Amino acid sequence: MGGAVKLVELHRNGIPESVHRGHVVVWGPAGIVAEWGQADKVIFPRSACKMLQALPLVESGAAASAGLLENHLALACASHQGADMHTRLARSWLKTINLDEADLRCGPQTPNDRHARAMLREAFTAPCQLHNNCSGKHTGFLTLGQHLGAGPEYIELDHPVQKAVREAFEALTGAPAPGYGIDGCSAPNFTCEIAHLARAMAHMARPEGLGKTRANAARALIEAMMAHPLLVAGENRACSALMAAAGKEAAIKTGAEGVFVAILPTKGLGIALKIEDGSSRASEAVMAALLVRLGVVQAKDPRVAQYLHRPEINRRGIKTGEFIVNESLFAGGRPL
């Protein structure tokens, strides 16, 4: 297969200034339905695979035993801003399983939420692990570990939690993970081909073939994400804005270093993309373009247009440049 293709350009005064290349795969019930770049490119999915990492939490019965609700499942899939709605929910969840912030292994993180940062500064308080964008995922790991009767070091590769995560990841991607790395939150992140990541998202969209227990878990997770888009990311985040625009048509999740995925239940499609230079501005534009093409969102919706036609504005408020998204991603708006 070929290499990366040009997906997004930044133009200044009509002159190309920056180019973002990458790979995209759309997977349907019969396999790949569209691709740009190299479908067999092996990547780290990073946080774009949190729905897969959360499957054992639900299918094991741990979520039900702990009395978890839809909002908890959304937080388990989240890369959140560390806003009060995120940290408050994570704290109360930990309390229900008789644990606290010190039991997390994700590490502290300065919250991206502006109000939360201001509150910490005013109180002369350092951020804690609850502010970590992965604290929901890690609280889910703790809940699963407790249900399995496993030890506290749930991020170790040979821990029962991570063994369960790997099994679910490989089952949905359809291939053994060729490698792994340690994510920013200290948990293992298993590699896969971009096509296989898209395949996993398509399985989440139409999980009937996964068996009743796993299928029900997949549905519960994506329904939770679509019902609580702000818990999945936060204010002024592409995941939340695009999901809100899509309504019940898509569960959407970003990952670090230019990875983005989408699950389209009504169409039975999964999307996975990777921008080679790791640019989130490019991955957001590409995902928005694909969702427009698939008829899931409208290009004129301000929640969508801000990513498709994002202008470059200088410090005096003057427009100095604009994004140009590869026209083949739109294809005149024709459905795939």
Is the CB of residue 132 less than 8 Å from the CB of residue 107?
Answer: yes
**Bridge partners, 129 (sequence order):** none
3-state SS class at 238: helix
Which amino acid, residue 184?
Answer: G
First to last CA, the chain: 21
d(Cα 294, Cα 331) in Å, to the nearest integer?
10
Which residue carries 């395949």 as its tokens?
199
pLDDT in 10s for each residue of the chain, 336 residues: 579 999 999 999 889 999 999 999 999 999 999 999 999 999 999 999 999 999 999 999 999 999 999 999 999 999 999 999 999 999 999 999 999 999 999 999 999 999 999 999 999 999 999 999 999 999 999 999 999 999 999 999 999 999 999 999 999 999 999 999 999 999 999 999 999 999 999 999 999 999 999 999 999 999 999 999 999 999 999 999 999 999 999 999 999 999 999 999 999 999 999 999 999 999 999 999 999 999 999 999 999 999 998 888 999 999 999 889 998 888 755 556
H/E segment holding residue 146: helix 135-148
3-state SS class at 259: strand
d(Cα 171, Cα 176) in Å, to the nearest integer?
8
- CATH code, 252: 3.40.710
Neighbours of 88 (CB within 10 A): 11
CA angle 167, 184, 126 (to 5 degrees): 130
Number of domains in the chain: 1
Tokens representing 112 are 């991206």
Neighbours of 213 (CB within 10 A): 13
Task: Please give the residue range of the domain that contains residue 289.
Answer: 5-333
Which amino acid, residue 177?
Answer: A
Mean pLDDT, the chain, as a whole number? 96
Q: What does pTM read for this prediction? A: 0.95
Which amino acid, residue 304?
Answer: V
**Is residue 76 classed exposed, middle or buried when 0-12, 13-18 and 19+ CB atoms within 10 A define those classes?**
buried
Find, among 282, 283, 239, the residue nearest to 263 by Cα. 239
Q: 99-104 long-range CB contacts below 8 Å, 24 or more apart?
A: 99/142, 99/146, 101/128, 101/129, 101/130, 102/129, 103/142, 103/152, 104/129, 104/130, 104/132, 104/135, 104/138, 104/139, 104/142
Neighbours of 40 (CB within 10 A): 12
